[in-house]
Amino acid sequence: MDDTPPRLHLASRSPRRAELLEQIGVRFTRIDAEVDETPRPGEAPGDYVRRVTRDKGRAGWAQVEGCADALVLAADTAVVVDAEILGKPRDRGHALEMMGLLSGRCHRVLTAVALVGGAGEAVRVCETEVRFRPVSPAEAARYWESGEPRDKAGGYAIQGLGAVFVAAITGSYSAVMGLPLFETAALLAEAGLSPLAPPAPGAG
Ligand SMILES: Cc1cn([C@H]2C[C@H](O)[C@@H](COP(=O)(O)OP(=O)(O)OP(=O)(O)O)O2)c(=O)[nH]c1=O
């Protein structure tokens, strides 16, 4: 077993992001990175997720900079309808309003992922189209009561009960859930941390 400290630090409090990163088998530790997630006036959604993700990565990097070979991974997810960024619901009314906006139509989910290290930083943005079936106000209210929408961008979780609303998706399922694994693996490979690299000689 490899008992050296992992090079990779996931700057996220999201349990979904940790679960997704575990899925591709890379070793990592978790750190917190608190940043201001308020969109700027007129900021395009793609620019917004890129900026917030980069800020999370840099905030994480400030905590581990001294560690040799350290890398910090961070991500941010925004649900976008009619160019409007839907964040996490503030309360029940806000959540039901969001469901009304998503019901019976397509929206975009933008997730950015950043990798920050001593050699610099790289950010990728992944865009996915999600189509919802019509959702009645009564269903939206019962969904709120399930507790699931509370800490989720757009007020739903594709990996949970929210899946019953998702008629189709074009793009990346893992990105909608919070971490685009294809783009993450590509960034890690560029930094010499390929999930499928052969084990180092002598590692057992
Ligand atoms: C759309 C959608 C979002 N989400 C979640 C993923 C993220 O946790 C959250 C989006 O909020 P974010 O602000 O991207 O992330 P976070 O505040 O939860 O975590 P951190 O900044 O510490 O990394 O919504 C799902 O779990 N499933 C979904 O289908």
Residue ranges per domain, the chain?
8-190
The topology (CATH level 3) of 8-190 is Maf protein (3.90.950)
CB 114 within 8 A of CB 74: yes
Would you place residue 203 in the very low, low, confident or very high pLDDT band (cuts 50, 70, 90)?
A: low
Q: Ligand 1 pocket: which of 31, 51, 152 to mutate (most atoms <8 Å of CB)? A: 152
Q: So what's the pLDDT on residue 67?
A: 84
Report ipTM (2 d.p.).
0.96
CA atoms lying within 13 Å on the CB side of residue 156: 29
Which whole number is the average pLDDT over 68-83? 95
A 10 A CB-CB count for 21 gives 25
Q: So what's the pLDDT on residue 1?
A: 60
Q: Is the CB of 40 under 6 A from ligand 1?
A: no
Q: Is the CB of 178 under 6 A from ligand 1?
A: yes
Encode pLDDT of 81-135 as tens digits. 998 999 999 999 999 999 999 999 999 999 999 999 999 999 999 999 999 999 9
If one compares 65 and 80, the residue with the highest pLDDT of the two is 80
Give the whole-number percent of the chain exceeding pLDDT 70. Answer: 98
Q: So what's the pLDDT on residue 194?
A: 85
Measured from the Cα of 33, ligand 1's closest atom is: 22
